[in-house]
Structure 1
Amino acid sequence: MKIANFGVEEWLNKYEKRAKIDISQSSISAFTLEELLNLDGTSVEEFFKERATLSLDYGWIEGSEEFKRLVASLYQNLTEENILQTNGATGANLLAIYALVNSGDHVISMLPSYQQLYEIPKSIGANVDFVELKEEKNWSLDLEELRAKIQSNTKMICLNNANNPTGTLLERSDLLAIAEMAREVDAYVLVDEVYAPLGEGDFVSIADIYERGISTNSLSKTYSLPGIRIGWVATSAEITEEFRKYRDYTMICGGVLSDELAIHALKNKAAILRRNKKIVAENLQILKNWVESEPRVTLVAPNFVSTSFIKLDIPQKDEEFCLDLLNETGVLLVPGSAFDRPNHARVGYCCKKEELLKGLELLSDYLRKFDK
């Protein structure tokens, strides 16, 4: 099996630890362990004292019953039997594609998108077609173009909602139309939903509106807990049962302590979302104000999610620019080329406010060299 290098992950793996100011990440500012536990007044000492005799065995293979119940409550029409715990949303995406896509199948993906959603099908031997998101159309998915790409043998449509890196959203009406298209050829619709919006937009999970819809998600982005590596896949009982067989080959369990921390987060969901809505709203306004004042940057504003994609008006390739920027200022971006969209860069604007302000200031100062 051959697979392309994973552009964004390869870039971050190589450079993120060198950054002094990291405005590249797509999560909302991560919690410390203490901050997470303190959401309901629990101290670190209390949490671990209560679990001092907890056996560090394999734990719950599919995720604990409480974890699955709490995740199921995030959906309209699912129960805990429709939930499987995974190693982040990347593990959920891998599981779904590995279980359902075969060599010779036809798959449709959006572009740009999270590279996993189209490179894994390619590596299996599927034929992948793309519906390209266009900046001049606000990075929106063209439903008529999608319909034209669907074939009688289309096995899966792979989407990212909201989209990474652009932050744009497919709303309920769009997803209902996509589900109807997929239903005509009995295709699966896999939607990576880690960037559920924290503000405007009529968001709905694909698993709640389509019988062959597969929702993947995690606590990494909206819930600010990428370090515990807990995600899930949510779908119909029939598809979940199929996934169980393949899951045995890709993951045993998520870890008993990670499961406990995930439960604590989900129990305190309301507090987390209040905190993160505030971060998104305030930092998005900072980003918009900066874009308005920066002549070499334009932006289609993200839909209250934690990732954004600026266009750079510079006479230099984006990857070279991002590397030079890092070396000379310590500011880290992800070049658009990592998403097959050159002349752009991903800005993770939901970091700490002071880090965002400083990063944007240094970025503007650095862009001035092209004005000479």
Structure 2
Amino acid sequence: MEIANFGVEEWLNKWEKQAVYDIAQSSIEALTLEELIGLDGTTVETFFGERRQMPLDYGWIEGSDAFKEEVASLYQNITPENILQTNGATGANLLSLYALIEPEDHVISMLPTYQQLYDIPKSLGAVVDFVHLKEDDWRFDLEQLSALVKPETKMICLNSANNPTGTLLDRKTLEKIAEIARTVDAYVLVDEVYAPLTADGEFVSIVDVYEKGIATNSLSKTYSVPGIRIGWTAASSELTELFRKYRDYTMICGGVLADDLAVHVLKNKDKIVARNKKIVSENLAILKEWVLNEPKVELVMPNYVSTSFIKLAIKEDDRVFCSELLKETGVLLVPGSAFDLPQHARLGYCCKKETLEKGLSLLSEFLKKQA
């Protein structure tokens, strides 16, 4: 099976441990174990002390009942039986694509987006076409989608909010996408890992507007615990039953301790979301002010999610720029070429405030030296 190198992961694997000021990541500043456990007043000692005699067996294969109930409560039309625990959202995407995509299928994705959503279908033998987001506002073009859809289109594969731009497929757009998909009976998979930190209640899950929708998500971004590697699929009963067969080949279980931590996260999700909305709001204000005063950068503001995509007024290759930036200043960005859009960079602004402020200051100094 042929598959392209994963641009973002390949870049981060090479460079992130050398960063002093990491403003490349797309998560909101991770919670410490003590912060997470303490959200409801529990201590780390109490939490793990209560589990001292817990057998470290396989536990709940598809995720515990408590986990499924908590996840199902995030949706309007999904029952706990239709939730499957996975290894992060990447595992959820892999499971969905592995179960449904066959050679010669037609898949439509978006560009830019998370590379997994189009290169896994390609590796499975599918033909992939793209809706190219419009750079003036990174808007999803419904007319492009309508023109690309064919009778043989098997899946429309998207993410919302978008990685790397941080822009959203709002309810009206998503409902229209569902209408278009119905005309050819296509599935619509939406990686929703950046929900629900959106403004004005505009976010809606694909499974709440489309009967053949597949939602994938995890605790990594919005909930600030990427380290426990827990995600899920949410879909119809028919699709979930199909996924179960393929899941047996890709994942046995998430682990009993990870499941317990995931339940703790979800039971305290309101506290985490409130904490993270504050981080997003305050850091976005810093980013906006910096962009206003930085003549060599343009930015379509993200929709209160933790990733942004700056356009750089530079002459050299963006990979060269980003590698030289790191070597000279310790500031890490992800070059836009990793998303097939050169002369841009992913800037993750939801790190510690002092890291963001110093990183942006050094980035401006470096930009001033560019011809």
Normalised by the length of structure 2, the TM-score is 0.99
Indicate the SS of the match to 1:207.
helix
Q: Distance in 1 between matches of 2:370 and 2:240?
A: 53
What CA deviation, in whole Å up to 9, does each residue of 1:240-262 have, x standing for no partner?
00000000000000111110100
Match of 1:237 in 2: 237
Deviation, structure 1 residue 209: 1.1
Match of 1:363 in 2: 363
Indicate the SS of the match to 1:85.
strand
Indicate the SS of the match to 2:24.
coil
Deviation, structure 1 residue 197: 4.2
User: Does residue 340 in structure 1 map to residue 345 in structure 2?
Assistant: no
Q: Distance in 1 between matches of 2:308 and 2:17?
A: 21
Q: Distance in 2 between matches of 1:233 and 1:273?
A: 21
Q: Distance in 2 between matches of 1:319 and 1:134?
A: 23
Instruction: Return the letter of the residue paired with 2:51.
Output: R
Which runs of at least 4 in structure 1 moved beyond 3 Å after TM superposition?
A: none
Match of 2:38 in 1: 38
Q: CA RMSD in A?
A: 0.7
C-alpha change, 1:191 and 1:199, in structure 2 (3 Å) is: closer
Deviation, structure 1 residue 173: 0.5
Instruction: Return the letter of the residue paired with 1:187.
Output: A
Q: Percent identity?
A: 72
Instruction: Return the letter of the residue paired with 1:143.
Output: L
Match of 2:331 in 1: 331
| Structure 2 unpaired stretches of 5+ | none
Deviation, structure 1 residue 370: 1.7
Q: Distance in 1 between matches of 2:107 and 2:78?
A: 26
Q: Distance in 2 between matches of 1:75 and 1:318?
A: 40
Q: Distance in 2 between matches of 1:256 and 1:359?
A: 38
**1:195–1:221 CA contact under 8 A, matched in 2:** yes
**1:167–1:303 CA contact under 8 A, matched in 2:** yes
Give the number of aligned pairs.
370
Map of 1:248-263 to 2, 5 A cutoff? Answer: 248-263=248-263
Indicate the SS of the match to 2:154.
strand
22-31 vs 197-206, which deviates more?
197-206
Instruction: Return the letter of the residue paired with 2:276.
Output: N
Q: Distance in 2 between matches of 1:83 and 1:287?
A: 37
Indicate the SS of the match to 1:323.
helix
Instruction: Return the letter of the residue paired with 1:178.
Output: I
Instruction: Return the letter of the residue paired with 1:356.
Output: L
Q: Distance in 1 between matches of 2:32 and 2:112?
A: 31
**1:108–1:158 CA contact under 8 A, matched in 2:** yes
**1:197–1:304 CA contact under 8 A, matched in 2:** no
Deviation, structure 1 residue 199: 3.4
Deviation, structure 1 residue 314: 1.1
Match of 1:171 in 2: 170
Indicate the SS of the match to 2:240.
helix
Indicate the SS of the match to 2:156.
strand
Match of 2:186 in 1: 187
**1:28–1:221 CA contact under 8 A, matched in 2:** yes
| Structure 1 unpaired stretches of 5+ | none
Map of 1:196-235 to 2, 5 A cutoff? Answer: 196-201=195-200, 202-235=202-235
**1:197–1:303 CA contact under 8 A, matched in 2:** no
Match of 2:154 in 1: 155
